Structure 1
Amino acid sequence: MSERIELPVPGTDATLGVIRHGHFGRPMLVFPSEAGRAEDFANNGMLDAIRGLVDAGRVTLFCVDSLDGWTWSARDQPTEERARRHGIYHDWLEQSVLPHIAYEMGGWQTEIITCGASLGAYHAAHFTLQRADVAPLAIGMSGSYDPTTWRGWGDIGDATYFANPMAYVRGADGDHLNWLRSRASLLLVVGQGPFEWEPTKSYPSTLAFADVLREKGIPHQLDVWGYDSAHDWPWWQRQLAHHLPRFV
């Protein structure tokens, strides 16, 4: 494990952290669950679940902090303001994290995978759909993909629309849609067990998002696990260990 690196958040005096695991292989940008930190992936057994791939030099992980406490989880703020703030987080990913990954990996030798569970699944899918040129594959586990359903309030506008994969994918057409069809691919994994229905609504949201992707012809896979598969780290460990080897 590398040391935690602090990278500047554009337009602010703040920094957010990145931790690297691995020495070679395909880079994977890993988002934590809601309001989480870069340390969470290792601390919750996810690194151990795929350690063989990391040690074999097949994948290098770049685990990042979230900014959810100031963005999507800031429920004292209206939805549109949360979405605007999320744009600052996206700027951090583009302007600070992507150059860091390129530097650490010696350039863009291979394309990035994005990965996350719970709210991290939203971040993974959204980033791939926005930046499929460098991160064409997203792995989302137990995700919820429509921010307008996250106990929001107030009028919504462009900031929310362009941060909402369910909305902007449904509205995509023309050259941009053709570009997404040619570049993006998403793996959506969800269980039917505890907390996947309520309160997270991950199960219905994942199926609804898969339907939108299917209607728009965007490559994706939907993998639904059983009624024992819970919204929790032990199941995300199994799901990632099951799927990741075929991508790296």
Structure 2
Amino acid sequence: MSLRFPRIFDGNARCRLMFPVNVCLGMQTETHRLTCRSCPPDLSCRAESRHLYGFPVRIDFTTKRFLDFALGFARNDSKNMNERYIKWYTPWLSREFEMLAFGNGGGLPLILFPTSFGSYYQNKDFGLTGSVSGYVDAGKVTVYCPDAIDLESFYNKSIHPADRMRAHNAYENVIVRDVFDLARRECHGHRVAVCGASLGAYHAANIAFRHPDTVSHLISLSGSFDISSFFDGYHDDNIYFNSPYEYLPNITDPWKYNHMGIIIGTGEWDNTRHESHRLSEILNSKGIKHWLDDGKWRGHEWSYWRDMLPHYLSILV
């Protein structure tokens, strides 16, 4: 059986427990490694990975469990969601910027950021937008999936760390000035909801905390909020004011977040669980209301995020 996975990774691994297979599917982590998510969490196989962007991957399935697991990545439930491709020239980056939108421009505008190395189509490819298709088709939510420039900012080792953060600030301007404005105009609202998984949750949280007047809700899925490793020991004010772990403990006006619905989702198998708890502790110390949802049987992976996001939206809308 041959399936096309547009943006996944080939680990050339064999699962020791469940089935013989020469491709191990999993989610990308900061160390460019894979985890075979079909194995039990305590016995998962790991393998060095290489990127296979845009190439077909052939997999010989020997169990239905692995087939169901793999199809979670290939499925696309967004065919009835009025998908729109949007591209425009933005002066903040001095180039064109791309985004997917799902919905008719009504209900709650939800800005959905990609994970590390992801692009505007990632959340669609991995079924996260499809997981909320019911809310979109009902006109309760319009989802906007902007591109990311992490490879040009945080992961760009060819430029000085200060320039990496300047590039990130330019990206933030695109989101706040361009994407937010479009979403608010289409949905006829004053504020937007922001959401992301892993590093995408950092983008969502940092923008929400820096621009609370523009954000109504923050949803974090297995968030990775510590950006210190991106700057090779360098530090300046710009980095400080983009590091939630640094600037939030020192805020003197926590009341400006009172209107915001904040959900921090994590789980016992989430390898960034400690980061969600650390953020929650800071918010508690400042009296900022939020919900830390630390669930069982939940990890740092798309299949869990596809369950978490529609659950959280059911509470919000």
Is the TM value for this pair above 0.5? yes
Offset at 1:77?
Answer: 4.1
Corresponding residue SS for 1:66: coil
Which of 278, 300, 308 is the equivalent residue of 1:208?
278
The worse-fitting range, judged by mean Cα deviation, of 36-45 and 208-217 is 36-45
Show the counterpart of 1:31.
Answer: 113
What TM-score comes out, normalization by structure 2 length?
0.70
Show the counterpart of 2:7.
Answer: none
Residue identity matched to 1:70? E
Change (3 A) 1:223 1:11: closer
Offset at 1:35?
Answer: 2.1
User: 2: distance between equivalents of 1:97 and 1:36?
Assistant: 17
Q: Does 1:246 align with 2:285?
A: no
Residue identity matched to 1:204? H
* Contact 1:187 1:221 (8 Å CA) reproduced: yes
User: 2: distance between equivalents of 1:80 and 1:219?
Assistant: 33
The worse-fitting range, judged by mean Cα deviation, of 34-43 and 155-164 is 34-43
Which of 12, 19, 24 is the equivalent residue of 2:100?
19
Change (3 A) 1:53 1:11: closer
Which of 290, 302, 305 is the equivalent residue of 1:233?
302
What TM-score comes out, normalization by structure 1 length?
0.88
Residue identity matched to 1:101? A
User: 1: distance between equivalents of 2:244 and 2:294?
Assistant: 20
Change (3 A) 1:51 1:11: closer
Task: Name whichever structure is richer in strand by fraction.
Answer: 2
Change (3 A) 1:38 1:11: closer
Q: Does 1:155 align with 2:234?
A: yes
Offset at 1:79?
Answer: 3.9
Structure 1 alignment gaps of length 5 or more? none
* Contact 1:32 1:117 (8 Å CA) reproduced: yes
Which stretches of structure 1, 4 residues or more, deviate above 6 A after TM superposition?
Answer: none
Change (3 A) 1:8 1:168: farther
> Map of 1:173-192 to 2, 5 A cutoff?
173=252, 176-180=253-257, 182-192=258-268
> Map of 1:51-62 to 2, 5 A cutoff?
51-62=133-144
Change (3 A) 1:78 1:11: same
Q: CA RMSD in A?
A: 1.7
Offset at 1:48?
Answer: 2.1
- Identity of aligned pairs, percent? 27
* Contact 2:84 2:102 (8 Å CA) reproduced: no
* Contact 2:264 2:292 (8 Å CA) reproduced: yes
Show the counterpart of 2:28.
Answer: none
Which of 139, 152, 172 is the equivalent residue of 1:90?
172
Change (3 A) 1:65 1:246: same
User: 2: distance between equivalents of 1:29 and 1:116?
Assistant: 8
How many pairs align?
A: 235
Choose 1 or 2 for highest CA Rg. 2
* Contact 1:32 1:38 (8 Å CA) reproduced: yes
Offset at 1:203?
Answer: 0.9
Change (3 A) 1:80 1:186: farther
Offset at 1:78?
Answer: 4.7
Structure 2 alignment gaps of length 5 or more? 1-81
Q: Does 1:130 align with 2:226?
A: no
Deviations 1:97-129 (A, max 9, x none): 122213322x32x63110110111011111111
* Contact 1:9 1:88 (8 Å CA) reproduced: no
User: 1: distance between equivalents of 2:244 and 2:310?
Assistant: 26
* Contact 2:184 2:192 (8 Å CA) reproduced: no
Task: Name whichever structure is richer in helix by fraction.
Answer: 1
